[in-house]
Amino acid sequence: MTIARRALLATPLAGPAFAQGWPSGSIRLIVPFAPGGTTDLVARMVATPLAERLGVAIAVENRAGAGATVGSLRAAQAAPDGLTLVMSNIASHGIGPTLYPNIRYDAVRDFTHVALLISNPSVFVANPRSGIANLADLVAQHRARPQGLDMASSGAGSSNHMLIVRLGQTLGKEINHVPFRGAGPAMTAVIAGQVPLMSDSLPSAASHIRQGSVRAIAMSSEARHPAFPDVPTMREQGFDVVSTTWFGLSGPAGMPAQVVERLARETRVILETPDIRARFAELGGTPGAMTPAEYTEFVRREVALWAPLVRASGATPD
């Protein structure tokens, strides 16, 4: 049982965690989406080297629901001892605060934002049997059907959801948005053909596009993405939108400064390792490089930026 014991962290603990002794036990990293999405992938990729550098285990915990706001709320309510962290993201910390009428946290005030981890474009993917290979096909099918097309997303409030709403508005006919608890279950539904289309963050879709289980039809990046040069951008196909999704590391408000600083330092080192850079590139994401202050400011700006857009779009959580 020695290995087990070492692994199960025989770090003695007497009294609450102090910044000096941090981390005094295993860390819980809340992923506010179901397993199998970008947030989940990135969390696990970063958690592993982070755990090694900090010398404690990091348990990734999926708490999905309501466009990532359930898990984020849980983190906001946790003790700010640096032992509970959350993957902050555009859904829960950018769009959600405006989209959800009864949200119970403030995306800036109730969190300590530590680092931006990854930013990446979104991609529209289609089931290969759906007969949709590009945006023109999508538009044609959408117009041809009296009830329009269905399109899945990882949850209401993601930038992927906003893209669906925007596309519908551009076409003058609403696309039926089908939210899931995360990109994993949504992707399963698309592969199965239950829903023909999905708007997804590139990293979670990347491996499925490569495997050919789904077909990429449009990318939301400015120019063609280096990892997927064959996939045309939305702009190229006449849908004039550029959109970026982001994921970061945050904790509850009031985390000790030393803890934040240490976390930010370690995270930055990890994001600069060639291994992580190579993996992020493969997934189509750009590693973040922001200080805690910069990231906090970034979140603040995102909330302000999205508020009028969300209201104007008339999007609703359901």
Return the residues of window 138-157 that contact another protein according to CB under 8 A: 147, 150, 156
The candidate with the shortest Cα–Cα distance to 154, out of 177, 133, 127, 129, is: 177
Residue selected from 38, 45, 252, 285 as contacting another protein according to rule CB under 8 A = 45
Please report whether residue 173 would count as binding another protein according to CB under 8 A: no
Residues whose CB is less than 8 angstroms from the CB of residue 259 and which lie 6 or more positions away in sequence, other chains included: 19, 22, 82, 251
Residue selected from 135, 187, 202, 219 as contacting another protein according to rule CB under 8 A = 187
H or E stretch at 142: helix 135-144
Please give the single-letter amino acid code of residue 173: K
Phi, psi of 88 (to 5 degrees): -75, 150
Residue selected from 19, 61, 110, 309 as contacting another protein according to rule CB under 8 A = 61
Please state, in angstroms and rounded to a whole number, the distance separating the CA atoms of residues 244 and 275.
23
Please report whether residue 192 would count as binding another protein according to CB under 8 A: yes
Phi, psi of 199 (to 5 degrees): -105, 115
**Which residue's CB is nearer to another protein, number 145 or number 265?**
145
**Which residue's CB is nearer to another protein, number 214 or number 234?**
214
Q: Which of residues 23-42 bind another protein (CB under 8 A)?
A: 25-26, 35-36, 40-41
Size of interface with another protein, in residues (CB under 8 A): 73
**Which residue's CB is nearer to another protein, number 156 or number 290?**
156
Please report whether residue 181 would count as binding another protein according to CB under 8 A: yes
- The stretch near another protein (CB under 8 A) out of 98-106, 128-136, 166-174, 235-243 is 98-106
Q: Which two tokens stand for residue 41?
A: 């992938």
- The stretch near another protein (CB under 8 A) out of 45-53, 107-115, 228-236, 255-263 is 45-53
- The stretch near another protein (CB under 8 A) out of 96-104, 163-171, 248-256, 307-315 is 96-104
Q: Which two tokens stand for residue 281?
A: 């590139």
- The stretch near another protein (CB under 8 A) out of 49-57, 131-139, 229-237, 242-250 is 49-57
Q: Which two tokens stand for residue 52?
A: 């090694």
Phi, psi of 197 (to 5 degrees): -130, 155
Task: With beta carbons less than 8 A apart as the criterion, state whether 89 and 96 touch.
Answer: no
Q: Which two tokens stand for residue 141?
A: 């099918």
Task: With beta carbons less than 8 A apart as the criterion, state whether 132 and 217 touch.
Answer: yes
Please state, in angstroms and rounded to a whole number, the distance separating the CA atoms of residues 251 and 100.
21
CB of 36 to another protein, least distance (A): 5
Q: Which of residues 63-92 bind another protein (CB under 8 A)?
A: 63-67, 69-71, 73-74, 77, 83
Residues whose CB is less than 8 angstroms from the CB of residue 29 and which lie 6 or more positions away in sequence, other chains included: 43, 47, 58, 59, 60, 61, 85, 86, 87
Please say whether the dihedral angle defined by the alpha carbons of residues 21, 289, 302 and 120, taken in this order, is positive or negative. Answer: negative
CB of 25 to another protein, least distance (A): 5
Q: Which of residues 104-143 bind another protein (CB under 8 A)?
A: 104
The residues facing 199 across adjacent strands are 124
Q: Which two tokens stand for residue 45?
A: 């990729």
**Which residue's CB is nearer to another protein, number 63 or number 300?**
63
CB of 38 to another protein, least distance (A): 13
Residue selected from 23, 39, 60, 175 as contacting another protein according to rule CB under 8 A = 60
- The stretch near another protein (CB under 8 A) out of 61-69, 162-170, 222-230, 302-310 is 61-69
